[in-house]
Amino acid sequence: MTFNGSWKVEQSENFANFLEQMGINVVKRKLAEHDNMKLIIEQTGDNFHIKESSTFRKKDFNFTLGVPFEHELADGTVIEGTWVLEGNTLKGNFTRKDNGKTLLTNREVTGNELVQTYSYDGVTAKRIFKKV
Ligand SMILES: CCCCCCCCCCCCCC(=O)O
């Protein structure tokens, strides 16, 4: 499956501004810019198992395409929403539980890169992960 593998963040674009829009304080924003985020993705059919590790935390979670789930972000913000696959792009549509605002995120694999884009309240960002 396309997304399967270990992915390590190499580059971020506008991520600090996105986090600021998310309301994340300056200390956590600075840490997040160098969080050494690593994702291990295991897809079996419509089911995904993700092992996330960063300087903030280690977290394992599962989701199924098209099935809403609740997820806690590294800063404690809780979101609820769904991942769907459109063509080769994973599209995530989430709602923050605390303020009802929408967080959109996409994941796409091109060669040995996984590109994740984020959009929240008018601010977009991108993180590029390399396969390790
Ligand atoms: C320090 C807080 C960072 C928050 C930004 C992360 C945004 C995550 C987007 C939604 C992720 C859904 C779960 C997942 O598949 O990884």
Pocket test for ligand 1, best of 40, 58, 105, 119 (most atoms within 8 A of CB): 105
ipTM above 0.90, yes or no: yes
CA 35 to chain centroid: 13
Q: Among candidates 9, 30, 14, which has minimal Cα distance to 123?
A: 14
- Report d(CA 68, CA 71) in Å as an integer: 10
List, in sequence order, every residue forming a beta bridge with 82; answer none if it has no partner: 93
Spacing, Cα 111 to ligand 1 middle (Å)? 23
Spatial contact of 118 and 18, defined as CB atoms under 8 Å apart: yes
Domain spans in the chain, listed from the N-terminal domain onward:
5-131
Instruction: Give the pocket of ligand 1 (CB within 6 Å).
Output: 24, 28, 32, 50, 71, 73-75, 92, 94, 103, 105, 118
What's the pLDDT band for 47 if we cut at 50, 70, 90?
Answer: very high
Where does the chain have alpha helices with state H? 15-21, 26-33
User: ∠ CA(40), CA(42), CA(47), 5° rounding?
Assistant: 135
Question: What's the CATH number of domain 5-131, 3.10.450.50, 2.40.50.140, 3.40.50.300, 2.40.128.20?
Answer: 2.40.128.20
What's the pLDDT band for 126 if we cut at 50, 70, 90?
Answer: very high
List, in sequence order, every residue forming a beta bridge with 126; answer none if it has no partner: 13, 117
Atom 8 of ligand 1 has which residue's CA nearest to it? 73
- Report d(CA 131, CA 23) in Å as an integer: 30
Spacing, Cα 73 to ligand 1 middle (Å)? 5
Is 33 a residue whose pLDDT tops 90?
Answer: no
For tokens 């390399």, name the residue. Answer: 130
Spacing, Cα 45 to ligand 1 middle (Å)? 22
Is 108 a residue whose pLDDT tops 90?
Answer: yes
Average pLDDT value over all residues in the chain: 97
Q: What is the pLDDT of residues 52-92, one digit of tens each?
A: 999 999 999 999 999 999 999 999 999 999 999 999 999 99
